[in-house]
Amino acid sequence: MTRTFDIIVCDEKDFMREKIAGVLSRIGMVRIVGQAAEVAAMKNVVGKFCPDIILIDLLLAAAEAETVAEVMKICTGAILLLYSGDLVEYQDFASQIHVGKRIRINDIETEVIKYCVRQRTLEKRVGNALLQQVTAAHKEAGL
């Protein structure tokens, strides 16, 4: 069975949330498990689903930096992607957030795919290493 990656999208604009969720839902390896218009609502969704990826508008995240930090403590394994149309213009806002990776909004799909592929590769390597250890232990035990 192929692993899927759960994603939550947080943007105060309904149109943007739906557009991003729609684009990402076409990627076979991801599943949109929640959407939120504000960080407080996102915190509840993260607590319920503990997604692999949290996508949030940079300006929204900057306005609620403390709550974003709390969210990341709830689900420590999640990656935080902060998107913006213009990262240079919003550099001051970006400096308020000390977690997550900043990306351009046009790169969301690419960044999500890169993350999923890297994770799958890592998990496969770990799985192969464990399988080799178990096989060696079985051989040593004469099984």
pLDDT at 93: 56
Task: Identify the pLDDT of residue 110.
Answer: 86
pLDDT the model gives residue 95: 57
- Is beta strand 101-104 parallel, antiparallel or unpaired with respect to 79-84? parallel
- Tokens 């949290």 identify what position? 54
CA angle in degrees (0–180, nearest 5) for 116-66-83: 40
Which pLDDT score, from 0 to 100, does residue 134 have? 79
Strand 53-57 versus strand 79-84 pairing type:
parallel
Q: How many domains does the chain have?
A: 1
Q: Is the pTM of this model over 0.75?
A: yes
Instruction: Tell me the CATH number at 53.
Output: 3.40.50.2300
Do the Cβ atoms of 74 and 43 come closer than 8 Å? yes
Q: Tell me what pLDDT residue 11 has.
A: 93
Structure tokens, 4: 């899927």
Domain extent at residue 55? 5-141
Digit-by-digit pLDDT tens for the chain (143 residues) are 578 899 999 999 999 999 999 999 988 889 999 999 999 899 999 989 999 999 998 888 888 888 888 888 888 888 888 888 765 555 555 555 556 777 777 888 888 888 888 888 888 888 778 778 878 887 888 76
Within 10 angstroms of residue 135's Cβ, the number of other Cβ atoms is 11
**Residue 91's pLDDT is what?**
58
